[in-house]
Chains A and B, each alone.
Chain A
């Protein structure tokens, strides 16, 4: 029997796990006139029974075309949702993004321009180009099955980004004449590329590294520009870095003291704290770690 394409009636696209890869996969589905049942990163993909796997070669040009198309037709919110879906750890994130683009490009084409005041001058007449009036339409239909999942994923990723902005804690490291700030985090999705801009903006005068120990990647800011580094297979990044500076322990101790003394015992409400500050973040929070001095005494 051999591996002839006819014997498979379903196809799954395996991309490399990046945003560009996901967008190229979406592009390929149009180029190949195929409708893949699954779009997933290659490392996670488990082919179903009778499913052919097509590995997608990432092409930045195609990716940019898809992103521009989505932005023009469906608005920037939809483009942002695709970016967020690309960093998600949810198994169906890629498929949800693909389903949305399929649905939205068809939906945005159907357009009733007869009563539009600007129809005489509009470039998008007949559904071929962008119509600013209706641009966000497909993505705002959040209860539609094709939009709902992407909207959910996008919302959970934006929440995780906010958690990172809240709970990342920097440590001051120093070697010979060099100074570096280091933060370790364990987010649910690979959101570092989405929060680097925030930290670069406010901490622009100090070089820093944000290390994601779950996804084994690091965002590195060198004082001029920031970039992502893949640290997979190289062990813990912190071993390669210098020790912390002398005043680091003082500030950490001061922060723990502040945290302790600002709480009001009569209002004790640990459930509320856990809701706002989930336990999974506690191991990397300076104030929730146990005091090193108290540990030594024990």
Chain B
């Protein structure tokens, strides 16, 4: 098997890993050495599905001892060809791609071959060749395999910039159903260990820099060591393979941001790659749901929202036709309108149509001049959406419109039309009159209700029953 065939198999197997970022660490280049990283990261290409390629995303091997129902590489799948890279091959390929400016670095994951420790040893060897023999200073994202020993995890963390442990599914119940070999504890314990190691590393570095007291110098590490995962850790989970609600998912990710200080939680809409009686055959609904979850995730990380403001137990799914921020605004009309010329930054970012960048530009521009409609448009604010929620020097922007929930809902609702192209783009916006009134309506997510909650329980029960049946047959 030649290099290109291997690459084809192993990158195809890795494509369902969604994490593709090269951000979070600034490392200047060194004369005579290859590579540097920048804080913002850099996307080098975009696939036909519009996702960015920033890292060479491959598996070390797609041989796996586990049998997770949702995964293409599971042991019982005979349809997929198996291949493995040697550490040297992988390092050479990374360097070759990096020199051509194809990639920003390496994203290394792996199927579990033999045992988690054996797999991690192979990964550490590949990264060691890159970092120590080739002196590579680019970005490396490594996936920690649950069940790996602490020493190997440390070695992996010292060689890479970001570590991640896949949460796979959002609850213990679902894990038991679809990934019987993995448990919540086995996933969370390496996550906690990585969190502690990063904190410890940061602390020892800080004391080295500051030299707080003269006594501390005895305790300092003598050799200058590589930082432990300086770009932090991330995780990902699959959405829609199991019946968890958005409420559960967002609460889980919010608690992960707080407890183990994750940089990102990635969501991956479940796409039926594997035919299995346990799994639903879903469609575009899950992709739209993923989109709304990411919008909510951004509100958590950059807009200063609390998870309880975005979603609550009574409405456990995000509204399909309204983005979470507009939804919050419609539920809190007493907060608006805000005066753009005086409101603080954290208030401005809560206005639909004004993002973080727009809010910062407003704060910068209003020091010199008073802002009106023309000025806001120049600053790149989505005035069409923002006007109902702001006053400009006392004048409300939405005159002529009833300031009520229903009237504003009609103006702000924006269904997701991502992925529409060619003939699919011809569809009319819902609510708009069309020549042929029989135009398909966009799919609607299940509304939250007690009856629905009961339906979800039934779905869970049916899935477990099917699992029992499958086990009995085996």
With CB as the reference atom, state the residue of chain B lying closest to A138.
B368
* CB <8 Å contact, B44 and A142: no
In the complex, per-residue mask of A124-162: 1 if CB is within 8 Å of any chain B CB, else 0: 000000000000010011111000100000000000001
Residue B218 at the A interface, CB < 8 A? no
**Given A204-B32, A273-B48 in contact, is the A262-B11 Cβ separation under 8 Å?**
yes
* CB <8 Å contact, A269 and B100: no
* CB <8 Å contact, A169 and B99: no
Q: Chain A residues near B52 (CB, 8 Å)? A: 276
| Segment touching B, from A7-15, A22-30, A47-55, A251-259 | A251-259
Residue B185 at the A interface, CB < 8 A? no
Instruction: Enumerate A244-284 residues with CB–CB distance to B below 8 Å.
Output: 247, 250-251, 253-255, 257-273, 275-277
* CB <8 Å contact, A262 and B15: yes
B281 to chain A, nearest CB (A): 12
B364 to chain A, nearest CB (A): 5
Residue A76 at the B interface, CB < 8 A? no
B253 to chain A, nearest CB (A): 21
Residue B34 at the A interface, CB < 8 A? yes
Query: In the complex, A265 Cα to B419 Cα: how many Å?
Result: 11
Residue B3 at the A interface, CB < 8 A? yes
Residue B56 at the A interface, CB < 8 A? yes
* CB <8 Å contact, B365 and A181: no
Residue B193 at the A interface, CB < 8 A? no
Instruction: Enumerate B55-94 residues with CB–CB distance to A below 8 Å.
Output: 56-57, 93
Residue A62 at the B interface, CB < 8 A? no
Query: In the complex, A262 Cα to B56 Cα: how many Å?
Result: 10
* CB <8 Å contact, B368 and A263: no
A170 to chain B, nearest CB (A): 5
Residue B187 at the A interface, CB < 8 A? no
With CB as the reference atom, state the residue of chain A lying closest to B273.
A266
* CB <8 Å contact, A264 and B36: no
Residue A201 at the B interface, CB < 8 A? yes
Query: In the complex, A285 Cα to B49 Cα: how many Å?
Result: 17
Residue A92 at the B interface, CB < 8 A? no
Residue A205 at the B interface, CB < 8 A? yes
In the complex, per-residue mask of B4-20: 1 if CB is within 8 Å of any chain A CB, else 0: 10011001101110000
* CB <8 Å contact, A255 and B97: yes
Residue A20 at the B interface, CB < 8 A? no
Chain A interface residue count, Cβ-Cβ cutoff 8 angstroms: 55
Residue B33 at the A interface, CB < 8 A? yes
Instruction: Enumerate B398-441 residues with CB–CB distance to A below 8 Å.
Output: 418-421, 425
* CB <8 Å contact, A263 and B365: no
Query: In the complex, A272 Cα to B291 Cα: how many Å?
Result: 14
* CB <8 Å contact, B271 and A264: yes
Q: Chain B residues near A253 (CB, 8 Å)? A: 4
* CB <8 Å contact, B3 and A264: no
* CB <8 Å contact, A254 and B7: yes
Residue A93 at the B interface, CB < 8 A? no
Determine which of B11, B33, B137, B378 lies in contact with A258 in the assembled complex, contact meaning CB atoms within 8 Å.
Answer: B11
Q: Chain B residues near A268 (CB, 8 Å)? A: 48-49, 419, 421
* CB <8 Å contact, A266 and B271: yes
* CB <8 Å contact, A203 and B34: yes
* CB <8 Å contact, A272 and B50: yes
Q: Chain A residues near B15 (CB, 8 Å)? A: 261-264
* CB <8 Å contact, A201 and B101: no
Residue A44 at the B interface, CB < 8 A? no
Chain B interface residue count, Cβ-Cβ cutoff 8 angstroms: 59
The B contact surface, by secondary structure, is loop
Determine which of A143, A257, A275 lies in contact with B8 in the assembled complex, contact meaning CB atoms within 8 Å.
Answer: A257
Q: Chain B residues near A226 (CB, 8 Å)? A: none
With CB as the reference atom, state the residue of chain B lying closest to A143.
B375
The A contact surface, by secondary structure, is helix
Determine which of A183, A205, A257, A264 lies in contact with B32 in the assembled complex, contact meaning CB atoms within 8 Å.
Answer: A205
**Given A142-B378, A250-B3, A267-B49 in contact, is the A262-B421 Cβ separation under 8 Å?**
no
Instruction: Enumerate A203-226 residues with CB–CB distance to B below 8 Å.
Output: 203-206
Determine which of B28, B30, B287, B421 lies in contact with A270 in the assembled complex, contact meaning CB atoms within 8 Å.
Answer: B421
Query: In the complex, A271 Cα to B34 Cα: how many Å?
Result: 35
* CB <8 Å contact, B45 and A287: yes
Residue B43 at the A interface, CB < 8 A? yes
**Given A169-B100, A169-B101 in contact, is the A140-B364 Cβ separation under 8 Å?**
yes
A88 to chain B, nearest CB (A): 19
**Given A169-B102, A202-B138 in contact, is the A143-B369 Cβ separation under 8 Å?**
yes
Query: In the complex, A143 Cα to B425 Cα: how many Å?
Result: 36
* CB <8 Å contact, B421 and A140: no
Query: In the complex, A143 Cα to B367 Cα: how many Å?
Result: 11
* CB <8 Å contact, A137 and B368: yes
Residue A286 at the B interface, CB < 8 A? yes
B413 to chain A, nearest CB (A): 21
B62 to chain A, nearest CB (A): 12
* CB <8 Å contact, A183 and B101: yes
A172 to chain B, nearest CB (A): 7
Determine which of B31, B48, B100, B369 lies in contact with A170 in the assembled complex, contact meaning CB atoms within 8 Å.
Answer: B100
**Given A143-B378, A264-B15, A268-B419 in contact, is the A255-B361 Cβ separation under 8 Å?**
no
A251 to chain B, nearest CB (A): 5
Q: Chain A residues near B51 (CB, 8 Å)? A: 263-264, 267
A276 to chain B, nearest CB (A): 5
With CB as the reference atom, state the residue of chain B lying closest to A256.
B4
In the complex, per-residue mask of A188-199: 1 if CB is within 8 Å of any chain B CB, else 0: 000000000001
A97 to chain B, nearest CB (A): 19
* CB <8 Å contact, B56 and A258: yes
Q: Chain A residues near B4 (CB, 8 Å)? A: 250, 253-254, 257
* CB <8 Å contact, A205 and B12: no
Q: Chain A residues near B28 (CB, 8 Å)? A: 201
A residues near B, CB below 8 A?
137, 140-144, 148, 162, 165-172, 181, 183, 199-206, 247, 250-251, 253-255, 257-273, 275-277, 285-287
Between-chain CB contacts (< 8 Å), 20 pairs: A141-B367, A142-B361, A142-B364, A144-B368, A166-B42, A167-B44, A199-B101, A251-B100, A257-B4, A259-B45, A262-B14, A263-B49, A267-B51, A267-B419, A268-B49, A273-B47, A273-B48, A276-B43, A276-B52, A287-B45
A sample of 8 more A-B contacts (CB under 8 A), given A257-B8, A267-B50, A267-B271, is: A141-B369, A247-B96, A258-B8, A262-B57, A265-B49, A267-B49, A267-B419, A268-B421
8 closest A-B pairs (Cβ-Cβ)?
A272-B50, A141-B368, A201-B29, A267-B49, A263-B47, A143-B375, A269-B50, A202-B36
